[in-house]
Amino acid sequence: MSVRNSAIGALVSAVGAVLLLAGCSNGTAGGDQSSPSSVVPTVNATAAAPATTVEATGKATPEATTPSPIPSDTGSARWNPCSLPDSAISAAGLSTASKQQLDAQSCRWKSAGQTSELTVVSNTDTAAELKQSGKYVQFSDATLGGRAALQYRAAQDNHKTGCYLTTFTSSGAIVFVVKTLKVQTDDFDSCADVRQFGAALAGYLP
C-alpha cells in the first residue's frame, strides 16, 4: 500500500506542476495580452486630409475657401464735390480743365490764372472735432452763401499759404480749402480767396 500511495502522490505533484507552468505562461489571461507600447493607433486618412482639388497638371492642391465679402464704403453715399457743374466752376474763376478727382469725396481745381488751387471736401467732421484736434488754429465765424461757417488755418502753416472754410449740413461737413501757388511773393490772401470761391459755389451745395 505504501508503494501505491507514493505513486499517487508523485502523480498529483506532477499534475500540479503542469498546471502551475500553464498558469505562468498565461499570466495575462483575462487581461490585455499586449503591452501599451505595442499598440499602434489607427488613423482615418480620409478625415485627416484636407479637401483638395486636382489642377490640370495633375497636382493636388488645397481647395480654396471663399473669401469674406469686403464691407462697402458707408461714406460713398455722401455728396461728391466733383459733381459741381463746369459752368459754376468756370464762373467762379476756376479752370475746368484742371479738375482732379482725389477720391469719392474730394475734388480739386486750379484758378484760371494758375495762382491758387481750390479743394472741396465732403466729410463727417464736426466743429468741436476740428477745434479739439490740435491741427487747426485761428478759428473765426463766417458765412457761406447765407449758411453759418467756420474759417481757420492749419497749425503748421506758418506762412499762411492756405485757408479753410467749412459749413455743416445734416449729412456732414463741406470744406473749401484754398492754397496759394504764389510761392515767391507775399501778394496773396488765401482766406479772402477761399471766401470768394465759396460764395461763388455755395448755391450748388446740397
| 33-80 residue pLDDT tens | 433 333 333 334 334 444 444 444 444 444 443 333 323 333 446 899
Distances (CA, A) of 193 to 20, 50, 117, 129, 167: 115, 65, 10, 25, 16
CA distance 117 to 183: 13
Query: For residue 139, how many other CB atoms are within 10 A of its CB?
Result: 14
pLDDT at 192 over 70: yes
Using CA atoms, how far apart are residues 119 and 109, in angstroms rounded to an integer?
7
d(CA 49, CA 173): 55
Calpha distance 147→51 (Å, rounded) = 63
Q: pLDDT digit string (tens) for 124-152?
A: 999 999 999 999 999 999 999 899 999 99
Is the pTM for the entire model greater than 0.75? no
Could you tell me which of 182, 154, 177, 148 has the C-alpha nearest to residue 165? 177
Ordered strands of the 106-110 beta sheet:
100-103, 106-110, 116-123, 172-180, 162-169, 147-154, 136-144
| DSSP letter (8 states) at residue 154 | E
